[in-house]
Amino acid sequence: MQILLSIFFMLTLALPVAAQDLATVLNANRDQIVQPSRTSIGPVIDAIANSGDPAVRDVLAAWEGRRLAVRQADGAFVIADGDRLTDLRGAALPAADVTVLRPNAGVRGLIASALVQFQLTDPDPVARGAARDAIARNAAPEHLPLVREALANGSDADLARLERLLTLRFDPDPAARVVAIQGFGATLSLDVRAALNPLLATRRVAAFDEPVGNIARILSVADLGREGAYDLLVQANLAPARLTPNDAHRALVANIVNGQVAGVPVAALDTAEAREGAYSALEAAGTVPTAATEAEVDSILDRAHFADVYVEPDAVVTDAARAALLGIQAKLGAMQAADLALDALSLASIYFLAAIGLAITFGVMRVINMAHGDFIMMGAYTGYVVQQIVPDRTLSLVVALPLAFLVTFAAGVVLERLVIRHLYHRPLETLLATFGVSIMLQQLAKNIFGTQARPLTAPDWLSGSWALNDIVGISWIRVAIFVLALLFLGLYLFIMRRTRLGLEVRAVQQNPTMAASMGISPNRINMLAFGLGSGIAGIAGVAIGLFAQVTSELGQQYIVQSFMTVVVGGVGNIFGTLAGAALIGFLQKGIEWLNPSNTLAAQTYMILFIIIFIQFRPRGIIALKGRAAGD
């Protein structure tokens, strides 16, 4: 290859700039072209490439694509696209018998290389871009001179970048590579990371001498584990294979004579030591191959050295690459933290949305509504039903949100009137009664909608995501949910602090009797407040349904978390709920980050944390004081 390349370059330089006619070149090298050989075709390809004919590119592409053919009648070169024949310039020809040339993979590789060089200087920027991408995807040392040559002909920022990427990997001069590496600084681009990482590739070596080469890390037996270390030595042919239990077993079985192995009765071979002893006896008798026993393994391992050695021999280059990657890692870490924070924020918004209704019914009214989760489910199903009737996604969402509010508001009012009204003095029993309602609602949903998940599809403008850079991004649905959560926070604050209803709710909550004597009807207020809390659950249901599967169990997944959000945050205070949602969301994402494969474990640890947290702040993050605290 090296020789071939040098010939290639020599020819490139030696050939006259004055172009020969393409057809002349082809005809002059007819034999070579028809029956190409990988070792000798290089100069021919170059001659074609340098002929300067505008059709060269198409001809080379056709040749590489096994579309170049020889017309049998006169031996002329033609391009055959299926049954359609054209001449080299693309003009259509009448049908004729042709022999299609089928260059082998090696020859086609050479043609492709020539084509790349050709494409890099293509006047069409799209074609240039494609060539650059092709090189970047599958970089090889021989691309470097091609790119440099193209760069000499015309400057282009992308091409210059590609040249530096190739330089840092393939330039023969280490100094040039270091300069190229440092030139990129701490960038987050994937292509730079992809170019730097191979420089730090290592291979693991085992030897009895001190390891040589560009050593990344000296390893001890403890690092590798006894088994792993010995396996490395076996792979390097430096030690005899270990006696595996299976082999020992087989060897022992093969040597059972009269119910004995090497004089040991078979019945006694029920411990590992007895078996090893019997094997050693066979070994001594020469009936089985020698294999390392535990003691031998130890003595061999004592003498051996292990190391990770860089494939790249030059330490200067690996140091520079490591330093550059460290810088990139730091920046990457910061970006990932930002991404994680966005994730956590969106999770917190979901918890907040699910819990804000509870903040009213549980936080303000002290009613434990176990059916709250099922109101969320009702909202999601409302969204699904609306989408069945109104096919336009955006319009259906516009209809579904208020409709879900109305449906669950009504359900909440009915529940309050029929059940909860009678239980205001028995809070634990509201828990039980609403649980009864919850299992009813779930089963009803199952009876109506079946057990399989129903889709609630987001409109197109909500699909996709907002990407800040390669790492930080967030899907639009989550942004929307965040906005919705903020909206609800504002709405809640407005209703509770600025409206008559809010004033009366607070009055009833603090002292129902006094509120009643001031002309406020606690009955009516309780009903409305409960309806409001339920209605918000319905809207949350539509939002959650957009990204989760809508099933009859949808609400159950949120109910425990919602209660914990309210309890952790501090009952009776919307900012407490906000703090609780933020704490739980960020905590869960944080734990997930520590153990990314395991969402279940993250939830487990989060709940444990909350149980312990309650120890220190039994009334939640933001605890109400004084009379407002009620009990």
Binding to another protein (CB under 8 A): which residues in 463-482?
none
Q: Which is nearer to another protein, 139 or 437 (CB)?
A: 437
What would the two tokens of residue 276 be?
Answer: 């090893």
Q: Report in angstroms how near the CB of residue 347 gets to another protein at its nearest.
A: 16
**Contact map string, positions 72 to 111, toward another protein, x by CB under 8 A:** ----------------------------------------
| Sole binder of another protein in the list 84, 89, 217, 422 (CB under 8 A) | 422
Q: Which stretch binds another protein (CB under 8 A): 146-154, 202-210, 312-320, 595-603?
A: 595-603
Q: Which stretch binds another protein (CB under 8 A): 171-179, 224-232, 529-537, 563-571?
A: 563-571
Measuring CA to CA, how many Å separate 412 from each of 415, 483, 607? 5, 25, 29
Q: Which stretch binds another protein (CB under 8 A): 138-146, 283-291, 435-443, 515-523?
A: 435-443
Would you call 186 exposed, middle or buried from its count of C-beta atoms within 10 A (0-12, 13-18, 19+)?
Answer: middle
**Contact map string, positions 247 to 276, toward another protein, x by CB under 8 A:** --x--xx--x---------xx-xxxx--x-
Measured distance CA(500)–CA(552) in Å, rounded: 36
Q: Which is nearer to another protein, 66 or 426 (CB)?
A: 426
What are the residues whose beta carbons fall under 8 Å from the beta carbon of 32, sequence distance 6 or more?
40, 41, 44
Q: Does 567 engage in binding with another protein (CB under 8 A)?
A: yes
Distance of alpha carbon 7 from the chain centroid: 45
Strands (E), 173-261: 202-207, 215-219, 260-261
Q: Does 564 engage in binding with another protein (CB under 8 A)?
A: yes
Q: Which stretch binds another protein (CB under 8 A): 62-70, 285-293, 557-565, 586-594?
A: 557-565
> Is residue 70 helix, strand or coil?
strand
Query: Which helix (DSSP H) or strand (DSSP E) does residue 211 occupy?
Result: none
Q: Which stretch binds another protein (CB under 8 A): 18-26, 187-195, 335-343, 430-438?
A: 430-438
Q: Does 563 engage in binding with another protein (CB under 8 A)?
A: yes
Q: Which is nearer to another protein, 55 or 419 (CB)?
A: 419
Q: Does 594 engage in binding with another protein (CB under 8 A)?
A: no
101: nearest Cα among 74, 64, 55, 76: 64
C-alpha triplet 430, 434, 436: angle, nearest 5°? 125
What would the two tokens of residue 454 be?
Answer: 């129903």
Q: Which is nearer to another protein, 444 or 518 (CB)?
A: 444
Measured distance CA(258)–CA(7) in Å, rounded: 74
| Sole binder of another protein in the list 25, 70, 166, 368 (CB under 8 A) | 368
Q: Buried b vs exposed e over 71-103: b needs ≥16 C-beta within 10 Å?
A: beeeebbbbbeeeebbebeeeeeeeeebeebeb
Is residue 372 a contact partner of residue 358, using CB atoms and an 8 Å limit?
Answer: yes
Q: Which single residue is written with the structure tokens 């293509």? A: 122
Q: Which is nearer to another protein, 111 or 527 (CB)?
A: 527
Q: Which single residue is written with the structure tokens 């050939």? A: 15
Binding to another protein (CB under 8 A): which residues in 273-312?
275
**Contact map string, positions 598 to 617, toward another protein, x by CB under 8 A:** x-xx-xx--xx-xxx-xxx-
Measured distance CA(157)–CA(162) in Å, rounded: 9
Q: Which is nearer to another protein, 2 or 452 (CB)?
A: 452
Is residue 629 a contact partner of residue 623, using CB atoms and an 8 Å limit?
Answer: yes
Q: Report in angstroms how near the CB of residue 266 gets to another protein at its nearest.
A: 6
Measured distance CA(15)–CA(148) in Å, rounded: 18
Q: Report in angstroms how near the CB of residue 509 gets to another protein at its nearest.
A: 16
Q: Does 391 engage in binding with another protein (CB under 8 A)?
A: no
Measuring CA to CA, how many Å separate 401 from each of 29, 386, 511? 75, 10, 34
Q: Which stretch binds another protein (CB under 8 A): 288-296, 306-314, 433-441, 580-588?
A: 433-441
Q: Does 187 engage in binding with another protein (CB under 8 A)?
A: no
Q: Which is nearer to another protein, 369 or 396 (CB)?
A: 369
Q: Report in angstroms how near the CB of residue 538 gets to another protein at its nearest.
A: 20
Q: Does 345 engage in binding with another protein (CB under 8 A)?
A: no
Q: Does 423 engage in binding with another protein (CB under 8 A)?
A: yes
Measured distance CA(477)–CA(163) in Å, rounded: 40
Is residue 584 a contact partner of residue 561, using CB atoms and an 8 Å limit?
Answer: yes
Q: Which residues contribute to the site for another protein (CB under 8 A)?
A: 245, 249, 252-253, 256, 266-267, 269-272, 275, 366, 368, 370, 419, 422-423, 426-429, 431-433, 435-444, 446-447, 556, 560, 563-564, 567, 598, 600-601, 603-604, 607-608, 610-612, 614-616, 618
